[in-house]
Amino acid sequence: MKKHVPQSKNTLVDTVELDLNSFSKLEQAELVTRLTINGNLDRNETLIAMCCVSDLLYNAINQVQ
Protein backbone atom coordinates (compact mmCIF):
# COMPACT_ATOMS: atom_id res chain seq x y z
CA MET A 1 0.00 0.00 0.00
CA LYS A 2 1.50 3.32 -1.04
CA LYS A 3 0.83 6.56 0.74
CA HIS A 4 1.61 10.05 -0.38
CA VAL A 5 2.97 12.02 2.55
CA PRO A 6 3.13 15.76 1.88
CA GLN A 7 6.41 17.37 2.82
CA SER A 8 7.55 20.97 2.95
CA LYS A 9 7.72 22.92 -0.34
CA ASN A 10 4.75 20.97 -1.74
CA THR A 11 6.72 17.83 -2.60
CA LEU A 12 5.38 14.30 -2.24
CA VAL A 13 7.23 11.33 -0.80
CA ASP A 14 6.20 7.78 -1.66
CA THR A 15 6.24 5.46 1.32
CA VAL A 16 5.63 1.74 1.32
CA GLU A 17 4.25 -0.21 4.26
CA LEU A 18 6.03 -3.51 4.77
CA ASP A 19 4.83 -6.40 6.88
CA LEU A 20 7.93 -7.17 8.95
CA ASN A 21 8.36 -9.50 11.88
CA SER A 22 9.40 -8.15 15.28
CA PHE A 23 13.11 -8.88 14.84
CA SER A 24 13.20 -7.15 11.46
CA LYS A 25 11.48 -4.10 12.93
CA LEU A 26 14.04 -3.89 15.74
CA GLU A 27 16.89 -4.23 13.23
CA GLN A 28 15.38 -1.55 11.01
CA ALA A 29 14.85 0.77 14.00
CA GLU A 30 18.51 0.34 14.95
CA LEU A 31 19.66 1.08 11.40
CA VAL A 32 17.52 4.22 11.10
CA THR A 33 18.78 5.42 14.50
CA ARG A 34 22.44 4.90 13.52
CA LEU A 35 21.97 6.65 10.18
CA THR A 36 20.20 9.54 11.90
CA ILE A 37 22.97 9.96 14.47
CA ASN A 38 25.74 9.75 11.87
CA GLY A 39 23.99 11.78 9.17
CA ASN A 40 23.85 15.48 8.56
CA LEU A 41 20.10 15.77 8.86
CA ASP A 42 18.17 18.93 9.52
CA ARG A 43 15.66 19.23 12.33
CA ASN A 44 12.66 18.07 10.26
CA GLU A 45 14.46 15.06 8.81
CA THR A 46 15.59 14.01 12.28
CA LEU A 47 12.04 14.31 13.60
CA ILE A 48 10.69 12.18 10.73
CA ALA A 49 13.37 9.53 11.33
CA MET A 50 12.62 9.40 15.06
CA CYS A 51 8.89 9.04 14.33
CA CYS A 52 9.71 6.08 12.09
CA VAL A 53 11.83 4.50 14.84
CA SER A 54 9.07 5.08 17.37
CA ASP A 55 6.50 3.47 15.09
CA LEU A 56 8.73 0.45 14.42
CA LEU A 57 9.42 -0.10 18.13
CA TYR A 58 5.76 0.35 19.08
CA ASN A 59 4.65 -2.23 16.51
CA ALA A 60 7.40 -4.68 17.51
CA ILE A 61 6.36 -4.47 21.17
CA ASN A 62 2.70 -5.00 20.27
CA GLN A 63 3.55 -8.09 18.20
CA VAL A 64 5.43 -9.64 21.13
CA GLN A 65 2.57 -9.01 23.55
Put simply, whether the predicted model's pTM sits higher than 0.75 gets the answer no
Q: How far apart are CA 12 and CA 20, in angstroms?
A: 24
Q: How confident is the model at residue 1 (pLDDT cuts 50, 70, 90)?
A: very low
Measured CA to CA, the distance from residue 40 to residue 63 in angstroms comes to 33
Question: Which residue ranges make up each domain of the chain?
Answer: 20-64
pLDDT at 24: 86
What is the model's pLDDT at position 60?
85
* pLDDT tens profile 11-57: 555 565 555 688 888 888 999 899 888 888 888 988 999 998 999 88
CA–CA separation, 10 vs 16, rounded Å?
19
pLDDT of res. 56 = 87
DSSP H/E element including 5: strand 2-6
C-alpha–C-alpha distance, residues 36 and 8, integer Å: 19
Under 8 Å between Cβ of 55 and 43: no
